[in-house]
Amino acid sequence: MSAAHAFPPPRFEDPSVFGHVAVLMGGSSAEREVSLDSGRNVLTALRARGVRADAVDGIPTLARELQDKHFDRVFNILHGNKGGGEDGTLQGLLEALGVPYTGSGVLGSALAMDKIRSKQVWLSLGLPTPRYVRLSRGGDVHAAVRELGLPVIVKPASEGSSVGVSRVHQASDLDAAVELAARYPGELLVEQLIEGDEYTIGVLEGRALATIRIVPKGSWYDYNAKYLADDTQYICPGLDDAGEAEARDQAERAFAALDLRGWARVDFMRDRAGRNWLLEANTAPGMTSHSLMPKSAAAFGLSFEDLCWRILESSMPEGGAR
Ligand SMILES: Nc1ncnc2c1ncn2[C@@H]1O[C@H](COP(=O)(O)OP(=O)(O)O)[C@@H](O)[C@H]1O
Ligand SMILES: [Mg+2]
Q: What is the DSSP letter of 194?
A: P
- Closest ligand 1 atom, CA of 162? 23
- Three-state DSSP class for residue 273: coil
What whole-number distance in Å separates Cα of residue 136 and Cα of residue 190? 10
Q: Which residues contact 261 (CB under 8 A, 6 or more apart)?
A: 103, 104, 105, 108, 206, 314
Strands (DSSP E) contained in 205-318 are: 207-215, 233-235, 263-271, 276-282
pLDDT score recorded for residue 296: 95
Structure-derived torsion over alpha carbons of residues 60, 65, 71, 75, reported in degrees to the nearest 10: -20
pLDDT score recorded for residue 22: 98
Give, for ligand 1, the residue of 200, 267, 268, 278 to mutate: max count of ligand atoms closer than 8 Å to Cβ.
Answer: 267
Residues with CB under 6 A from ligand 1: 130, 153, 155, 159-162, 165, 191-194, 198, 220-221, 267, 269, 279-280
pTM, to two decimals: 0.94
pLDDT score recorded for residue 4: 44
pLDDT score recorded for residue 228: 72
Q: Tell me which residues are annotated as active site.
A: 31, 161, 227, 265, 267, 280, 282, 286
pLDDT score recorded for residue 151: 97
Domain extent listing, the chain: 3-102, 112-127+195-305, 132-192
Class of domain 3-102: alpha beta
On whether the 112-127+195-305 domain is CATH 3.20.20.70, my answer is no
pLDDT score recorded for residue 80: 77
Nearest CA to ligand 1 atom 10: 153
Q: How far is the CA of 246 from the centre of ligand 2 (A)?
A: 20
Give, for ligand 1, the residue of 86, 279, 293 to mutate: max count of ligand atoms closer than 8 Å to Cβ.
Answer: 279
Q: How far is the CA of 116 from the centre of ligand 1 (A)?
A: 13
Q: How far is the CA of 279 from the centre of ligand 1 (A)?
A: 6
What whole-number distance in Å separates Cα of residue 251 and Cα of residue 200? 9
What whole-number distance in Å separates Cα of residue 156 and Cα of residue 191? 11
Multiple choice CATH, 132-192, 3.30.70.120, 3.30.1490.20, 3.30.160.270, 3.40.50.970: 3.30.1490.20
pLDDT score recorded for residue 3: 41
Residues of the chain with pLDDT under 70: 1-5, 82-83, 160, 320-322
